[in-house]
Amino acid sequence: MTTVPVQLPVRSRVADLAAAQIASWQQGYLADRSAAVAALARLRRGAGRTAAEMPDLWSLVDTGPLHECDDARRALSEVELTRAEDALYTSCTLWALHQQSRGTAMHRTHRPEQPAGLGAAVRRLMPPGDIDEPVRGRLVRAASAATPLVLAQRLRDIVVLLRRADIPLDYGLLAGQLYAFQWPGGPEAVRRDWGRSFHSRPAARHMGGNPPPATVTTDTASDTDLKDAS
């Protein structure tokens, strides 16, 4: 009997590609390799802008894997490809802004014991056990963005705050969310993701035995609180 291959969702393809490219640049940057340092300098100029505005980056961000198709990857439509590329560019450029002049990795893969989603990262900007409404308001504004460009601009403001506080973010996860945001029903789903991340509590088995800086709860609503706060 012939087995039908399971196709990898486009969102996962975008997330995996962003994570792989950023991890490579990040390793080189932290090792002070000139090519990676130069790549970061070019990338960060695109933060908060569209791919179409930054032709200088077309030869830097490798979108080739998005064009590949095999048993696990089907050919993407023009709309899918455009939205996937935009999500990839936005994630990579925001990471570059975040990583600038930082001596530790600002892209970190999300794990239950060390949440690294956008909501969790924003929550770590706040005092333990308290809500900083101006900071929360920035997440609300990002979640309420009407277009991908406005979203990228508002995320840029958040990334600047995370950079100052040395708080990492999972940019692969973010890239997948940026792709989903561009589809009907996507903004609502992404808001739900960010809301749950904001209210998530790190799992008990944290590496090293000490709890991470964020001290948040899990029993509150997700995207409703964020939308209502606006």
For each successive 10 residues of the chain (230 residues), what is the average pLDDT?
59 96 98 97 91 84 87 86 95 97 96 93 91 92 94 96 97 97 95 92 51 35 35
pLDDT of the residue at 7: 60
- What pLDDT shows up at residue 136? 92
- Strands (E) located in 32-176: none
Find, among 160, 140, 161, the residue nearest to 151 by Cα.
140
pLDDT (0 to 100) of residue 107: 98
Nearest to 15, CA basis, from 97, 107, 106: 107
Give the predicted TM-score (pTM) of the model: 0.84
